[in-house]
């Protein structure tokens, strides 16, 4: 491959949207920098009052400028092939599709992927390849079992990008290298996800990482879409303003949902022809559970993992959530469909948003691309807090869809793997991440400037639930069942799960102790 599209990116200050925000650059200025740095696709930028592109560059000081040059030695791998084992979702929803592409297409994201790979291949004389290694669920994982078979057979595997659940399974089964043992990997660098490292490392050891290597982690974030016309028509408060002021809470979601809900066709039966305040799915239970400040598992002050599934606060939150689900203001895509029965949740989301039959809709970030054809104006916001005293929004990163990178213990050359992963991740942050934001912010999917700020809040508050990733007690599956039944009896569920959950936690700790020793 030849590097054909690097002319303008090499001439501008190289930053990503989130890194600019974290360095204190004003929101719209950050967006302008990113758009100026992108060569593919549209070139229009949001209007930021009287601010010009020259103002942007003037405000971007040396302290704000970021280097994308990792501290790596020169290397020539003699034309060897480096292969990523990747998740291939049977329905393609969660396929890790941004590691390799065959050719330039004119699409900003596709061409950025091509350019990144061309750079790595040219610089290190190596060929980047991908191998579809299977799908991954919660309790069973084709890709994890295939990696296990390869490891037991002694087969070489360079690196794996799999779901959170699959990666958790591979970790506690001793299939992966501890990443500090991999030369050249520096997880403290900005192209790696520090929040993931902090949340999921145990006893100062990390067996997997996430970051700019793939956009799968961003796509797995769970968010809310709202229909703007309904906010205007019913004289509701701006969800954007509520989020920015810290007043976007579960009580506000319930209040606004109740205002818009109604039997539009006068049939006396509520279905998709009518209007609801909150459209949700079975997986929404964990999204809301986390958003209101509850986690299946966390690390305590000593760094030890502990179960935090059932607390007084969790019981209070669950009681309020279930009472909300039992009202006519909500509709479940998992259990209450009639007109759209047999269709996927993605089709239902598109139809309900297009028809203005829902004010708020739970979805994954990856669903936003499916709303591209919808003419109805919509916005994107994080899920609500419990109350205004909650210090921040908690945005669930779904382990089912997330993409975590790891290195199996049959990796044939850890030095080569470490160097290439570090270089790959840094280059992704330089050119792939801006293209990802460009596609989502430039009007292809998002509809307004305020979504820029919402996306930064969403991505900067991503949470990783260690109890969910390691699937202690199969808590997520069990909680989802309680959610679908609209049952408030969280205490009884915990009584049922406690013994197995504690046993699973002990097994995780035991595996880590075995690995350490």
Q: Where are the alpha helices (DSSP H) in 173-249?
A: 194-200, 216-219, 228-233, 239-245
Residue 492 in 3-state DSSP? helix
Note the pLDDT of residue 339. Answer: 64
CB environment 39-70: b (16+ within 10 A), e (fewer):
bbbeeebbebeeeeeeebeeebeeebebebeb
Residues near 19 by beta carbon (within 8 Å), at least 6 away in sequence: 66, 190, 429
Note the pLDDT of residue 66. Answer: 67
Domain annotation for the chain: domains and CATH numbers: 12-59 (no CATH), 80-218+400-433 (3.40.190.10), 222-396+469-516 (3.40.190.10)
**Cα 246 to Cα 389: distance, rounded to the nearest angstrom:** 9
Tokens standing for 374? 């919808």
Note the pLDDT of residue 442. Answer: 58
Note the pLDDT of residue 8. Answer: 35
Residue 426 in 3-state DSSP? helix
Low-confidence ranges of the chain (pLDDT < 50): 1-64, 517
What's the pLDDT tens digit per position in 392-408? 999 999 999 999 999 99
């Amino acid at each position: 491959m030849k590097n054909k599209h690097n002319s303008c990116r090499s001439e501008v200050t190289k930053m990503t949207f989130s890194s600019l925000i974290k360095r204190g650059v004003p929101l719209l200025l950050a967006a302008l920098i990113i758009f100026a740095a992108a060569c593919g696709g549209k070139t229009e930028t949001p209007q930021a009052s009287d601010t010009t592109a020259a103002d942007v560059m003037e405000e971007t000081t040396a302290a704000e400028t970021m280097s994308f040059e990792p501290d790596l030695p020169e290397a020539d791998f003699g034309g060897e092939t480096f292969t990523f084992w990747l998740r291939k979702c049977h329905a393609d929803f969660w396929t890790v599709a941004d590691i390799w592409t065959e050719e330039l297409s004119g699409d900003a994201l596709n061409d950025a992927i091509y350019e990144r790979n061309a750079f790595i291949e040219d610089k290190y004389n190596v060929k980047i390849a991908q191998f579809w290694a299977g799908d991954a669920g919660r309790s069973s994982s084709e890709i994890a079992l295939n990696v296990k078979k390869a490891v037991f057979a002694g087969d070489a595997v360079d690196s794996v990008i799999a779901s959170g659940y699959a990666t958790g399974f591979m970790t506690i089964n001793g299939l992966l290298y501890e990443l500090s043992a991999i030369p050249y990997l520096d997880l403290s660098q900005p192209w790696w996800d520090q929040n993931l490292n902090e949340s999921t490392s145990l006893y100062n050891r990390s067996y997997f990482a996430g970051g700019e290597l793939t956009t799968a982690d961003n796509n797995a974030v769970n968010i809310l879409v709202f229909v703007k016309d309904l906010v205007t028509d019913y004289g509701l408060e701006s969800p954007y303003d509520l989020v920015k002021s810290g007043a976007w809470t579960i009580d506000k979601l319930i209040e606004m949902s109740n205002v818009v809900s109604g039997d539009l066709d006068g049939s006396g039966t509520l279905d998709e022809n009518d209007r609801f305040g909150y459209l949700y799915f079975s997986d929404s239970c964990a999204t809301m559970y986390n958003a209101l400040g509850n986690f299946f598992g966390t690390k305590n002050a000593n760094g030890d993992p502990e179960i935090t599934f059932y607390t007084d606060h969790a019981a209070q939150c669950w009681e309020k959530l279930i009472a909300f689900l039992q009202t006519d203001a909500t509709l479940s895509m998992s259990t209450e469909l009639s007109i759209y029965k047999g269709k996927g949740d993605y089709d239902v989301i598109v139809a309900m948003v297009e028809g203005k039959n829902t004010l708020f809709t739970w979805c994954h970030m990856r669903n936003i691309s499916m709303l591209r054809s919808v003419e109805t104006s919509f916005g994107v916001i994080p899920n609500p807090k419990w109350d205004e005293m909650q210090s921040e929004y908690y945005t669930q990163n779904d382990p089912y869809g997330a993409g975590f990178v790891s290195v199996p213990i049959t990796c044939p050359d850890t030095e080569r793997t470490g160097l290439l992963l570090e270089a790959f991740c840094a280059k992704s942050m330089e050119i792939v991440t801006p293209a990802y934001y460009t596609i989502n912010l430039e009007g292809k999917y998002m509809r307004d400037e305020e979504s820029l700020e919402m996306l930064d809040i969403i991505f900067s508050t991503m949470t990783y639930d260690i109890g969910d990733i390691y699937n202690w007690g199969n808590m997520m599956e069990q909680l989802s069942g309680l959610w679908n039944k609209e049952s408030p009896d969280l205490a009884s569920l915990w009584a049922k799960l406690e013994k197995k959950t504690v046993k699973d936690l002990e097994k995780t700790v035991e595996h880590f102790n075995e690995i350490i020793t």
